[in-house]
Structure 1
Amino acid sequence: MVIITACSGQPPKKPDHPAPTPRGTLDLKQYIAEFTSGMGPRSGYRAPTGPQQRAVADGVGLFLDGRRAQAGQRLADVGFRIRTLTDQVTGRRYAELADAADTGTATRGWGRVYVDLTAPSRWSVQVPHPVADAHSEDLGVAILRGTPGGVLVLAGAHRAAGQGLAADVAHRRDTVFHAVCDALLKRRLPGVQVHGFADDSVPGYDAVTSTGAGNRGRATGRAVADALDDSGIDACRAWARDCPLEGRTNMQGRAAAAAGVPFLHIEFSRDIRGSSKRISRAADAARTATAAWSTTRQ
């Protein structure tokens, strides 16, 4: 290690927007799979305090606003750091905002955020139940890869971890996941949240498409549902008929409805999530929404 000190007696001036610490080239799907492989239903989650939630959300918001030095400082207050990586599949560079100690007994389960650095941030894909909804994290990566300008919000613990369902982030507001999604809403970024269900939970359908508690995402929801049908994935449309798992009580969906920002809640069967080919088809259908969002400001 080389340490450089200023000879003038004045501290060296920090750049206004220093680049995040670099990482190598890797397969983003495999990299995230390695992270989620350690998640279990009985460990790996510590409920954050309100100030801790706000610190991570503030850091994410500052990063999206281009204030990267301030973002790094704010995140460091709660043990988070910023790194960059290049996905070898797409060639795109992503910033990873994550807990600096995310393995072993130090794991707090607060999750990670991946920001596409190759285009302005325009939309998000949210994965609240990795592992618990098997391979939903793979689907999240596939959607992120599909359209430039995406932000992936990945929960950091199994939904059954912690006490009293404290880590079931889709149904709670007192989590880092929700605070980060709220920061995205403040910047008017629409989002698609992916979930999973057992094959026999929704007979006759492979997916359930919904706009959650609101209806601002109705047009893009219809387009996604049509694209799913066209790809051989039969979608139940919650705005047109009674469907199970409509996500009306989803907390991120409620917040999006209150903010007037489009939100899609999509459930996929285990059969879809268990096939790389069908995950790719589902992600292609979701691109119907993300591609439209990438060219508009809400």
Structure 2
Amino acid sequence: MWILLAVAAALAGAVVIAMPGQDEEPAAPLRTATVKERVQQFSAALREDAAYRPPSEDERRKFVDALTTLSAGQPDDVPRTTGALQQLGMSVEQGTDSQTGRAYVLVASEPNAERGWGLYVIDLSRPARLAVQVPHPANDLRTDEIGLELFRRVPGTVLAVSGTHRAVSNGAGDAAHRTDSMFHTLAVKHSDLGLPQVQLHGFGDNSLSSADVVVSSGAGSAVTAHRRIADGLDRVLRVCRAWSRDCGELEGRRNKQGGVAAERGVPFVHLETSRTVRDDAERWQEIVKVAAEALGDD
């Protein structure tokens, strides 16, 4: 039986390092889901009636310390962070992405748990150089898929997926507009480290019928990366540039993570994509390609 489990896990490329509540550190492979399946299952499970409490300041500090260690791109650091993350109610899985061949570690809370603090995938192939943020995975459909594909395109990416439906606890789970979450605290750390950030959102077609995608710098000023993304997408999509025209309520001016990035002078790309485009993988793959070229250059 153990041999069969080991073969199945090896094929999937993921091994559970620790699950919350365990006293030991089992080396046995217990999960066979791919990283894509894990992200999709996590987002699909989130409910607006789930119990939720924001993490304390001490919990946020411990979490960010552990994620910062993992983001150094050293696979040997994974066991050193497992205990602290386990105490926060999070599982830790280390594996190799079958699509890219790169090592990763996936840290996740249980969906709809009181400590619903998110899912985070860290590329272990090199030190972090880009943060991809998905604040509304249960509401802005397929932004988690787009985020994962961008993660795969740019080695050294940290993918952060919020752990709540945005309506949880009367809006306490709206990661883009709260400062008391693991999601936000990690974004602050990334701004302190100077990491460029791209945050993915979705809008209904009727919200801005003249555009397929809105490219915004949030509370900051547009820089080369914003213009490169907008210019690149012009070939295939109708683009609204928030720094040069009114894009309605889709510009992310009050986005909390974008506000911190603006204060630190760090590039923050707020990307809103229409439902029609998000429903068409061929079209949203163009967004991934263009964004990766603009943000992933060394």
The verdict on a shared fold, with TM-score over 0.5 as the criterion, is yes
**What does residue 105 of structure 2 align with?**
95
**What does residue 238 of structure 2 align with?**
234
**What does residue 35 of structure 1 align with?**
42
**What does residue 276 of structure 1 align with?**
281
How far did 1:123 drift?
0.5
How far did 1:70 drift?
4.6
How far did 1:291 drift?
1.7
Q: Distance in 1 between matches of 2:138 and 2:172?
A: 16
Secondary structure of the 2:219 match is: coil
The answer (yes or no) to whether the contact 2:39–2:119 under 8 Å persists in 1 is no
Compared CA separation, residues 44 and 89, structure 1 to 2 (3 A): farther
**What does residue 263 of structure 2 align with?**
258
Instruction: Between 250-259 and 142-151, report the one with greater CA deviation.
Output: 142-151
> Superposition RMSD on alpha carbons, in Å?
2.1
Secondary structure of the 2:184 match is: helix
**What does residue 53 of structure 1 align with?**
60
Q: Tell whether 2:166 aligns with 1:166.
A: no
Compared CA separation, residues 78 and 63, structure 1 to 2 (3 A): same
Instruction: Between 48-57 and 200-209, report the one with greater CA deviation.
Output: 48-57
Q: What is the aligned residue count?
A: 269
* Amino acid corresponding to residue 211 of structure 2 in structure 1: Y
Instruction: Between 112-121 and 170-179, report the one with greater CA deviation.
Output: 112-121
Question: Where in structure 2 are there 5+ consecutive unaligned residues?
Answer: 1-14, 18-26
Q: Distance in 2 between matches of 1:63 and 1:108?
A: 21
Secondary structure of the 1:180 match is: helix
**What does residue 206 of structure 1 align with?**
212
Matching of residues 122-271 of structure 1 within 5 Å: 122-162=129-169, 164-215=170-221, 218-230=223-235, 232-244=236-248, 245-271=250-276
**What does residue 115 of structure 2 align with?**
108
**What does residue 288 of structure 1 align with?**
293
Q: Distance in 2 between matches of 1:289 and 1:160?
A: 33
How far did 1:158 drift?
0.8
With the length of structure 1 as denominator, give the TM-score of the two structures: 0.84
Deviations along 1:208-258, one digit per CA (max 9) or x if unpaired, are: 10111112x52100000111112x111100111111211010000001011
Instruction: Between 206-215 and 83-92, report the one with greater CA deviation.
Output: 83-92
How far did 1:179 drift?
0.7
Structure with higher helix content: 2
How far did 1:44 drift?
4.8
With the length of structure 2 as denominator, give the TM-score of the two structures: 0.84
